[in-house]
Structure 1
Amino acid sequence: MTHNPADSTLERAIALLDRLVAFDTESSRSNLPLIDFVEDYLLGLGARFARIPNAEGDKAALFVTFGPNADGGVVLSGHTDVVPVTGQKWTSPPFVLRRDGERLYGRGTCDMKGFDAICLAMAPEFLAAPLKKPIHIMLSYDEETTCAGCLDTIKRFGQDLPRPALAVIGEPTLMQVADAHKSVTTYRTIVTGHEAHSSKPWLGVSAVHVACQLVAALERIGRDLEADRDEQARFDPAFSTVHVGIIQGGTARNIMARQCEFFWEFRGLPHASHRAALDRFEAFCAQIAAERLNGFPNAKIETIVETQAPGLRSEPDSAATTLALALAQANHTIAVPYATEAGQFQSGGLPAVICGPGSIDQAHQPDEYIDIAQLAEGVAFLRRLAGQLST
């Protein structure tokens, strides 16, 4: 799809993306400078919005409403945080938007400040449209780490904030409509052993050795989970997965390790219980503790749930799917393997889909980019939305 270079809204989106990329909103940092900028922009337009701070006060979500101040309508949701650039080899500064032909480079251009920019660029058109149902824009935080930065806002829907009828989450899908994604739950397992000289291993218990047994058990659990497959083969891979990403522990080669910890994750098919791996793992931990840790009072195995983001279940006839397919001018949906905030909206009672500009293949990469044509498609999608809600 080619874009119209005379489209002032598209040009405004590019200019806004330039400003949004300039804010280093890595998840470990505050997003408040970006939120301040967006609020100033919206104040200049006369738009209505509410800031929803986190408990610590160092981050905030923003909820913007156009049209009637009433329940119903559509919320367009995007996150403001980005993944780190540390250790990546960029050919230009990551927090400076660089245009090269028909591509825009910079951290977050694709994931997902590009979507944020087109939503904000459409604000003047939303304000001018005779909307009969509201359009909301929601900007969240901490999506890249916990997917929980949207929850405080969702909890206020129907209370002091209007309750939208459905949600469109603008993660990069090349403007295809995704109606399903896997869940993700992340864990930290800590093994505490008993130190002793390695020449007399019966005097202690190595946390490293026990941890290795547990990691091997997780691999077996992962293989067993492959039997529960997505019959429609919409996901790649078509089964739930278990992965151990980090393991660390021990003091020296000749000391039986007192402590070892490892970090792992479970990515589940939408219908799978988030405890599908954990229940089996904890049963194995209890068995190993009885066999290996008995007789050492301080030795133990602990597993902590760090983050949990629900999957998005396909709802083919939902209002969100029907509307998004019409707006995207498409006749089928896709499933994506990565987790998004869409599952949180669905868990909160709102039908939800994912549809946004850019490709997930560019997300989190050095020299992350988005094609301007994708931004143009996103603008066209949002224009159709304004037209649909004005009739």
Structure 2
Amino acid sequence: MDRTDILRQLISFPTISANPNGELIAYCADLLQSAGAQVVMIKDPVQPKANLYATIGPDDRAGVMLSGHTDVVPVAGQDWTVPPFEMTEKDSKVFGRGTTDMKGFVACALSAALRAASMDLKTPLHLALSYDEEIGCIGVQSMIDMLAKAPFRPKFCIVGEPTGMKVATGHKGKTACRVKCTGREAHSALAPTALNAIHLACDMIAAIRDIQREISRTTTPDNDYDVPYSTLHVGTITGGVALNIVPNSAEFAFEIRNLSEDDPQDILDHLDRAAQDLLTPLRAQFPEANIEIETTGSYPALATGPDAEVVSFVKSLTGLNATIKVAFGTEGGLFSTRLDIPTVVCGPGSMAQGHRPDEFVHADQLAQCDAMLDALLERLAAGI
């Protein structure tokens, strides 16, 4: 089965993060096992979701791992002109949810694995397919736990997120947080006698914005990024039940996207101090006043040195000399930090097309990815 047929099948599975990915993983497992690959499925203990880890070639030495996620973002509320879960080819583009982010790469990787199965590889090829990446690199954690106990870890990892087939050596880390603010309710006619939790939340948001301004003013910029410093961003806010009631609770969510040089815990410590500064003058009159900051998810930044062996290796496969850094996060930071696997990001397409209606990947990008993986198979057959 060629890459186009595989991609058509992958797109047909509506693996939005809220949905199971079991049917897609079963399809991939059947495809790989029928070719003779060693396949391990790591099931989620609660949801009908799973990771897949496959090996083609010898199992007594380190190989090269191709990593990709199987979940996609929702299509609800978007104005699509083509069916999002059917593959459409026109104008040298391939349309469908996940074509860029990142079923296009997964299809190329599966196709390469099938080709590899008929070769005498001296160095193994590994495929790592995970779930729930789009909501914080959650699913891959159990695969990392498995690899941490394995007798051999991959020598290199290529995460196939869309980079236009350029070799990316870095991405920012992410920390997601929820802030719960507690005040005291009252009739709105007596508002000054109460403690408005929405106002308290707004004061905390002002503190977040102050920290952001300070970071942007004082940080040594990393100009390889579109935004060359760590960022804070408030994404949602809720609170209150009626206009004539002073709200006693409010909640908002924010994230930190940090450069590898910046420790997000330092930023959280700064915010904790800001919260205490807000609460201290209120507690005498409102002892129940509170601001609780809870971390709901995180993954580390990726910071692979430009002179690392994995960088020169993957550049030799693509034929390109330059490297880039990408604004979005990947599981690459986890492979690098938790398992010490040298990692880069390199895959077909552009994230400018990801998460949008009529998502597409250029056909020539898929062809370039196939060529890179063909070059990889030649190196694995020779024994890197």
Closer/same/farther in 2, CA of residues 173 and 25 from structure 1, 3 Å limit: same
Please give the residue correspondences for 1:2-13 in structure 2 after superposition, counting only pairs within 5 Å: 12-13=2-3
**Could you tell me which amino acid in structure 1 is paired with residue 252 of structure 2?**
F
Instruction: Give the TM-score of the pair, scaled to structure 1.
Output: 0.94
Match of 2:236 among 237, 243, 246: 246
Moved more, 209-218 or 194-203: 194-203
Q: 1:284-295 alignment to 2 at 5 Å?
A: 284-295=274-285
Determine helix, strand or coil for the equivalent of 2:135. Answer: coil
Residues 148-176 of structure 1, C-alpha deviation per residue, up to 9 Å, x if partnerless? 21121122225347411111000000100
Matched, 1:342 2:314: no
**Counterpart AA for 1:16:** I
Alignment of 1:387 onto 2:375: no
Percent identity between the two aligned chains:
38
Work out whether 1:177 is the aligned partner of 2:167.
yes
**How much does 1:272 deviate?**
0.7
CA shift digits 1:270-306 (9 cap, x unpaired): 1110223211111010111112344334331111111
Does the alignment pair 1:98 with 2:88?
Answer: yes
| Residue 28 of structure 1 pairs with residue 14 of structure 2 | no
Aligned twin of 2:202 = 212
State the 4+ residue runs in structure 1 displaced beyond 4 angstroms.
none
CA offset digits 1:320-376 (Å, max 9, x no partner): 212111111111210111111110111121110000001110010100001111111
Matched, 1:365 2:368: no
The whole-number CA distance in structure 2 between the counterparts of 1:165 and 1:54 is 26
Give the whole-Å Cα distance in 2 for the aligned partners of 1:338 and 1:165.
24
* Corresponding residue for residue 188 of structure 1: 178
Q: 1:92–1:290: structure 2 CA closer, same or farther, 3 Å change rule?
A: same
2 CA distance for matches of 1:110 and 1:187?
28
Give the total of aligned pairs: 381
User: Over residues 86-136 of structure 1, what are the superposed CA-to-partner deviations in whole Å (9 max), with x where a residue is unaligned?
Assistant: 110000211111111311110001000000000111122211222111110
2:369 to 364, 373, 378: 378
Q: Is the 8 A contact 1:242 1:277 kept in 2?
A: no
1:223 and 2:213 equivalent? yes
Question: Is 1:145 aligned to residue 135 of structure 2?
Answer: yes
Q: Residue 266 of structure 2 aligns to a residue in which SS?
A: coil
Of 67, 87, 98, the residue aligned with 1:77 is 67
Once the 2 structures are TM-superposed, how far is the Cα of residue 390 of structure 1 from its aligned partner?
A: 1.6
Aligned to 1:157: 147
Normalised to the residue count of structure 2, the TM-score between the two structures is 0.96
- Secondary structure of the residue aligned to 2:169 is strand
Structure 2 gaps of 5+ residues are none
Q: Distance in 2 between matches of 1:161 and 1:115?
A: 28
Alignment match, 2:98: 108
Shift of 1:73: 1.4
| Aligned counterparts, 1:24-63, within 5 A | 24-63=14-53
* 2: CA distance, partners of 1:361 / 1:48: 35
1:10-58 CA deviation, whole Å, 9 max, x = no partner?
A: xx11111110001011111111011111112122222211001123142
CA distance 1:339–1:133, shift in 2 (3 Å): same
Q: Structure 1, unaligned stretches of length 5 or more?
A: 1-8
In the TM superposition, residue 221 of structure 1 has moved relative to its aligned partner by: 0.6
**Counterpart of 2:374 in structure 1: which amino acid?**
R
